Structure 1
Amino acid sequence: MKKGFVQTENFRLLKEAEKIVARRGAREASLVIIQGKYGVGKSELTERWASENGHVFIRAKKVWTNRAMLEDIAAALGLSVRGMAKDVENRITAHLAVSMQALIIDEADYLADMSSASKLETIRDISDVTGTMVFLVGMENFPAIVQRYDHIASRVARIVQLHPLSLADVQATCKAKSDVQLTSALVEQIHRDCMGRMRLLLNAIANIEVWAEANDWAQVDVTHVKGKALCTDFTGHLVKRGGKT
């Protein structure tokens, strides 16, 4: 499979949200929630977006304590992690107040739950002090968790809903990533079978490339893959034609 990144419609939604929040009225309204179903490509999308724009990308961890979170943020910024947690936080805020780099935190569901939002409150403090934008990438129910905490929810400037991939997105991805030529009919089948999920789309391309290499196919059509499961879901279930399992 070819390397590279495809700027899908979801990528354009992120860029639009960034422009809108950059022009916000209230300085403290600097949080953006990015939500979407599993498999739509949230992590790859936001990590690439961060690298292209000089933002700081961090993946939250279930085992994070408040201190561990601050250390990971500081390390990503190239800052010392010595001293007390407050010392580390002060270095982070001092740096961001000057650089104004946006923070993108993937797996943000780990920052809060129905009983505690201490890590999310620390992120809010950093954002309030520096005015830097913070993009929180989570699952579909993450906004509902944030809404339980009014003092944090009031800082959310925008919620970006990432959509399933369109046919145009799938066409562009197949053209950019596949090492073998795919007919338009096959691309349409892939679009149906992957159910708008980037993870399944990439699995389908990888599967087709293996079959093409094994059978010396220069071009692959629906007739070549009839009866084959194009997409393999990460749960281990095979997604067959028409999305049936």
Structure 2
Amino acid sequence: MKNEFVETENIQRFYSALSALERRGAQEACLMAVDGLPGLGKTTALHRWALQNDAIYVRAKKEWTPGWFLNDLLGEMNVTPMHSYAKRFSQAMEAMLQRQSFMAQQRQTFAVVIDEADHISRNSRIMESIRDFSDLGDIVFILVGMGKLRDNLTALPQVASRIAQYVSFDVSSARDVRLFMDAICEVPVADNLVNFVHQVTRGFNREIKEAIANIERAGKRGEFSKDNPMTLSDMAGKLLVNDRRTGKPIFVPEIV
């Protein structure tokens, strides 16, 4: 399987929302929420975006306290935390403002990505600290959740009102599955097999990649080309993917 990044419709929506955020009217509305079920590619997309754009990427922990949050944030910026919470807050603000100033000179937006943000979306102390950073420094925070982020934030209206952009990651379309096949599958694949993969995986990226791995495993034994792509009948009787709901293997029917 090729190591290529696939720009699906979800990724395009994220890029559009980011552009809109950069053009925001109210400066204090510096927050973005990216939400969706597990397995839709949010972590892969946001981690890659953070690396490419010199953003800070941290993963929230279930037991995060405000102090632990600041320690992780400072650690990502290579700053040794001081002892008191107030001093650590000041350290983090200063470090982020320095990053922000440097990025502004490059005409880029500095941001902090917090993955697994469901863990903290009901923690008023941590969320208020994020709001303080955002308000005081016009710092962009991108909160990435697993399907409940938007609902959880309604309990914190002062934070929710500062979410300038909501991005929902949905299941991949048949077009997205074709993009995956063309970009990362090392065996040419016909449309009927693409459509069957879309149907069976229900558009979840993890299962799509699992299906591609199994298609490659079977396809490399044959002689397939762009003019002679692998079809659904070529996979008849073979394992395609494991059902995420039951864990049971799904085989392509012998008669297709």
* TM > 0.5 fold call: yes
Matches of 1:238 and 1:174 in 2, distance apart? Answer: 24
Separation in structure 1 between the aligned mates of residue 46 and residue 10 of structure 2, nearest angstrom: 10
Show the counterpart of 1:58: 58
Aligned to 1:231: 241
Letter in 2 for 1:108: A
Q: Which amino acid aligns with 1:187?
A: V
Which residue identity does 1:127 align to in structure 2? S
Aligned-pair distance for 1:52? 2.0
Q: Do residues 210 (structure 1) and 217 (structure 2) align? A: yes
Q: How many pairs were matched up?
A: 238
Instruction: Work out whether residues 243 and 250 of structure 2, in 8 Å CA contact, stay in contact via their aligned partners in 1.
Output: no
- Are the structure 2 counterparts of residues 94 and 166 from structure 1 closer, same or farther at C-alpha, using a change threshold of 3 Å? same
Q: Which residue of 2 aligns with 1:132?
A: 139
**1:222 counterpart = 2:229:** no
Q: Which runs of 5+ in 2 are unaligned?
A: 101-109, 225-229
Aligned to 1:168: 175
Counterpart CA distance in 1 for 2:65 and 2:96 is 21
Residue 241 (structure 1) shift: 6.9
TM-score (norm 2): 0.86
Residue 117 (structure 2) pairs with residue 112 (structure 1): no
Give the CA deviation at 1:19. 1.2
Counterpart AA for 1:142:
L
| 1:86 equivalenced with 2:86 (yes/no) | yes
For 1:179, give the aligned amino acid.
E
> Is the Cα–Cα contact under 8 Å of residues 193 and 241 in structure 1 kept in the other structure?
no
Greater CA deviation, 143-152 or 224-233? 224-233
Segment drifting more, 93-102 vs 169-178 = 93-102
Contact 1:39 1:197 in 2 (8 A): yes
Name the SS for the 1:240 alignment partner. Answer: strand
State the match for 2:98 in structure 1: 98
Q: CA RMSD in A?
A: 1.9
Partner of 2:7: 7
Taking the aligned partners of 2:153 and 2:73, their CA distance within structure 1 comes to 21
CA deviations on 1:157-202 (whole Å, 9 max, x unpaired) are 1111112111221111111111222222211211111111111111
In structure 2, distance between residues paired with 1:239 and 1:160: 32
Q: Secondary structure at the match of 1:181?
A: coil
The residue aligned with 2:107 is none
Partner of 1:73: 73
> In 1, are the aligned partners of 2:34 and 2:166 still within 8 Å (CA)?
yes
* 1:44-88 CA-partner distances (Å, limit 9, x unpaired): 011112122222221111132221211111111222223222222
Q: Residues 58, 218 of structure 1: CA spacing in aligned structure 2 closer, same or farther, 3 A cutoff? A: farther
Q: Report sequence identity in percent.
A: 30
Distance 1:29 1:241, change over 3 A: farther
Larger Rg computed on CA atoms: 2
Deviates more, 1:29-38 or 1:63-72: 63-72
Unaligned runs of 5+ in 1: none
- Secondary structure of 1:224's counterpart equals helix
Comparing 178-187 with 99-108, greater Cα deviation is found at 178-187
CA distance in structure 1 between the aligned counterparts of 2:75 and 2:246, rounded to whole angstroms: 35
Aligned to 2:162: 155
Normalised by the length of structure 1, the TM-score is 0.89
**Residue 142, structure 1, aligned to residue 149, structure 2:** yes
Q: Secondary structure at the match of 1:134?
A: strand
